[in-house]
Amino acid sequence: MGKLTGFLIFSSLFTGLVVAADWNILKNQKNKNNGVGDGLKKYCESWRINVEVNNIRGFDVVPQECVQYIQKYMTSSQYKADSEKALEEVTFYLSSCCTLEGDGKDAWIFDVDDTLLSTIPYFKTHGFGGEKINATSLEAWMRESKAPALEHTLKLFHEIKNRGLKIFLISSRRENLRSSSVDNLIKVGYHGWTGLILRGLEDEFMEVQKYKSKARHRLVDEGYLIWGIIGDQWSSFEGLPIAKRTFKLPNSMYYN
Amino acid sequence: MGKLTGFLIFSSLFTGLVVAADWNILKNQKNKNNGVGDGLKKYCESWRINVEVNNIRGFDVVPQECVQYIQKYMTSSQYKADSEKALEEVTFYLSSCCTLEGDGKDAWIFDVDDTLLSTIPYFKTHGFGGEKINATSLEAWMRESKAPALEHTLKLFHEIKNRGLKIFLISSRRENLRSSSVDNLIKVGYHGWTGLILRGLEDEFMEVQKYKSKARHRLVDEGYLIWGIIGDQWSSFEGLPIAKRTFKLPNSMYYN
């Protein structure tokens, strides 16, 4: 009987430990669901995918109830995996698509923010899309030139350049950020682009999509053939002239 | 001592039951992860999102290792939520965007398969995108006219019609499926469209995107103003003339 009691005490304690361990796993599982309930997670995932496919346009802020979800996504390995897959498709396209003209007029376009450089460190301390963008504060941060590179884009940037394509960076950053932007880009490993196009005074009140179209137009007028664009905003692809291919990187923190 | 033993036996059994319950929850959690490991799930989610944003194009089959994931997604409440959110954005657009011309020439375009009608029942028994599409078998199924409606598109279809827009269905189904398609559409509740455009003999060898552009061109030539397109394929939106807005519904089973 003593043995049985001892066994039961042991067994009970052991089972109790297993239960405790299980609850922790369950709690972690819940945390893995971005710390939000299933219904909310489903809603926020729908919001995000509909931003990504350009069904939801022109939003000023991420819906308040989805800020936590977006923060989790934008700092997750899924965000990295989604970006890497997009860039893998660029490599695949380049290896199979194009016989370059080789006349020095083969061109490739990149966005800057959240394509070459990450603004996530800024948004980490500014509400992750949940606060309306304060241009003064964002520009002050850009002026510090400390945005990190998106590692996979950096690698691809040099691959594309080494294929003999001329690289143009078309950004909605303003012209007065030129030297900080150049500093930042060089510091993290980008170099050898052919043009960095920023918004001049005359473009400031133009819609981003129109300003970027106009910039592409100028390139085409100068004889460039635009093989592709990589960007995190649909406004980088839309309007004429179109590129042969476009590649959308994820970004659900802001829209421009 | 007898009491203690009894308590311990009871407590041990009770804890055992809790453990069993927990293991079931854990198992369900694992199944909720689409029955696939975290790494594979991440990969397949990246594949799917990159299909949705049109970075991955022209795939013949879903990657074999992702078939189970795609099957789970396409039959999930997340797929429904994603579609509903897209359609909500249409309602939002319609309520805020447009002063219709009111001349009988305001038009709206829908795809048919996986926009108005669901092909999921067919793909349920045909590998969920994991098998190359067998046109003969798919057309035989279409001829049975038993595809269900996508409920939220059905509701929106009538809303759009009731606003006075003329509805055109532009489908890559072939002309010889006209009567089965009409039967199917009517049976599940669609009626009152202005045109159902199917692929004639002369269009059969044309790329889907070119065929759909040509169809829109004809509408514009007839004086129609295309306010929007709802479709599950990017080929429904691309090329000229463009619509004022386009709305992408999810579909990662096939590409055309």
pLDDT tens track for A102-116? 899 999 999 999 999
**Is the CB of B81 less than 8 angstroms away from the CB of A46?**
yes
Question: Containing H/E element for B107?
Answer: strand B106-110
Is residue B77 a contact partner of residue A39, using CB atoms and an 8 Å limit? Answer: no
**Please, is B40 exposed, middle or buried when counting C-beta atoms within 10 Å of its C-beta (0-12, 13-18, 19+)?**
middle
Is residue B248 a contact partner of residue B237, using CB atoms and an 8 Å limit? Answer: yes
Of A125, A118, A131, A122, which Cα lies nearest the Cα of A67?
A131
Chain B residue at shortest CA distance from A246? B55
* pLDDT confidence bin for B81, thresholds 50/70/90: very high
> Residue A36: what pLDDT?
60
Q: Which residues of A touch B16 (CB under 8 A)?
A: 15
pLDDT above 50 (res A237): yes
- Cβ neighbors of B222 (< 8 A, separation 6 or more) are B105
Distance from CA of B178 to the nearest CA of A (A): 30
Give chain A's contact residues with B (Cβ, < 8 Å). 1, 4-5, 8-9, 11-12, 15-16, 18-19, 22-23, 25-26, 29, 42-43, 45-47, 49-50, 52-56, 77-78, 81-82, 84-86, 89, 246-248, 250
Q: Which residues of A touch B247 (CB under 8 A)?
A: 55
> Residue B100: what pLDDT?
87
> Residue A226: what pLDDT?
97
Q: What is the mean pLDDT of chain A?
A: 88
Distance from CA of A143 to the nearest CA of B (A): 32
Of B186, B142, B183, B169, which Cα lies nearest the Cα of B230?
B169
Is residue B204 a contact partner of residue B174, using CB atoms and an 8 Å limit? Answer: yes
- Tell me the percentage of chain A whose pLDDT exceeds 90: 81
As a whole number, mean pLDDT of residues A60-78 equals 97
For A38-248, CATH gives 3.40.50.1000
> Residue B36: what pLDDT?
60
* pLDDT confidence bin for B244, thresholds 50/70/90: very high
As a whole number, mean pLDDT of residues A156-175 equals 97
> Which is more confident, B191 or B12?
B191
Q: ipTM surpassing 0.95, yes or no?
A: no
Q: What is the mean pLDDT of chain B?
A: 88
Question: Containing H/E element for A172?
Answer: strand A166-174
Which residue in A15, A18, A89 is closest to B55 by CB distance? A89
**Is the CB of A55 less than 8 angstroms away from the CB of B248?**
yes
pLDDT above 60 (res B136): yes
Please report, for chain A, the start and end positions of each structural domain, with discontinuous segments joined by +: 38-248
> Residue A97: what pLDDT?
80
- Cβ neighbors of B118 (< 8 A, separation 6 or more) are B147, B148, B149, B150
Residue written as tokens 């592409």?
A216
Q: Which residues of A touch B77 (CB under 8 A)?
A: 42
Q: Which residues of A touch B242 (CB under 8 A)?
A: none
pLDDT above 90 (res A85): yes
**Is the CB of A55 less than 8 angstroms away from the CB of B1?**
no
